[in-house]
Amino acid sequence: MTGGGDCPGLNAVIRAVTQSLILQAGVRVTGIEQGFLGLIEGRFRPLELADVTHILGDGGTVLGAHNAANPFDWHGEDVSAQALANARALGLDALVVVGGDGTMRIAHRFDQLGLPVVGVPKTIDNDLLHTDRTFGFDSAVAVVSEALQRLQTTARSHQRVMILETMGRYAGWIALHGGLAAGADILLIPEVPFSPHIVAEACTHCVARQGYALICIAEGAHAATGKQIVRAHLPHSPDPLRLGGVGEWLCQQLEGTLTSEVRSTQLGHIQRGGPPTPFDAVLATLFGWHAAQLVLQGQFGRMVVLRGQACASVPLVDVAQGIRTVGLNDPALLAARDLGICLGN
């Protein structure tokens, strides 16, 4: 099953798991539709080789996804027993769950209840613990980089300050790497609270030097004297808070200070759509293959991770303890500072 939001590379995992298990061991593979909602409602379908042969480069997920179906809190009720009964009635020997931190927390609870689970890390935010990369991240960074390069041409032509707000939740990986890839002048991430005054000064210097300023800001970034901006609250979702709007907020702060025009763009779900980059297609394939090996070896309650250039696995309980944020000594962050990029502090 694919839980949480969609992202590039999900179909590559489905393909790799299915092909590996069928070709290696003749295993019957079943797809659960719409994430944990399918487990609650008993929505399954068989997966054969012909079903997955041509999906490697497709965006989204052929099984569908759902980011608010928590069986332990489904519209205020615990329906996990119903989900377990559906899994047992289907005769599942193991469940391969592809998702982010919220999905892995739910998967861990099912593993504790006796449903053998193997996890595969998926999120464009790159914020899962114990893995150097999650697939979907590279694809999102590529979209952010291209968007910033397009905004830069408009900024240069009109001598404007252009702001691009990225996804990323409480971690700044997408904004940091996307901004570095596109040569942004100012990078604002949740891990480094910023001062609007310092950002305004940096914009003034950039406009004086080159005629424009390009800002890449993560949705979870916030001023040192303020809080993260929440655009919506979904009480039944594993991740109930939806961040967003800080780019427009910063735009309003700068408009009262700068003589240059300021424009803000929220990139939104464009970062999650479309086909995977070659890097993500390969990573997702390796993750899916490794997950299949864990199933065949009976190593359950674990999640596949990337350590350097190799796949490994860690206990699901370790992944469910929090998220991985950008460290203040992260090489990309140190490089950005030493390259003269303003971090807002």
b/e sequence 90-105, b meaning 16+ C-beta within 10 Å: eebebbbbbbbbbbbb
The rounded Cα 112 to chain-centroid distance in angstroms is 25
Tokens representing 164 are: 């691009």
- Catalytic residue chosen out of the listed positions 101, 111, 125, 185: 125
Residue indicated by tokens 């119903």: 82
How far is Cα 264 from Cα 287, in angstroms, rounded to an integer? 37
Give the bridge partners for 307, in sequence order. Answer: 310
How far is Cα 37 from Cα 32, in angstroms, rounded to an integer? 9
How far is Cα 169 from Cα 245, in angstroms, rounded to an integer? 12
Could you write out the DSSP letters of every residue in 155-180?
A: HHHHT-EEEEEE--TT--HHHHHHHH
* Residue 94 near residue 276, CB atoms below 8 Å: no
CB atoms within 10 A of CB 83: 26
How far is Cα 187 from Cα 214, in angstroms, rounded to an integer? 9
By three-state DSSP, how is residue 17 classified? helix
Would residue 280 show up in a list of annotated catalytic residues for this protein? Answer: no
| Active site (catalytic) residues | 125
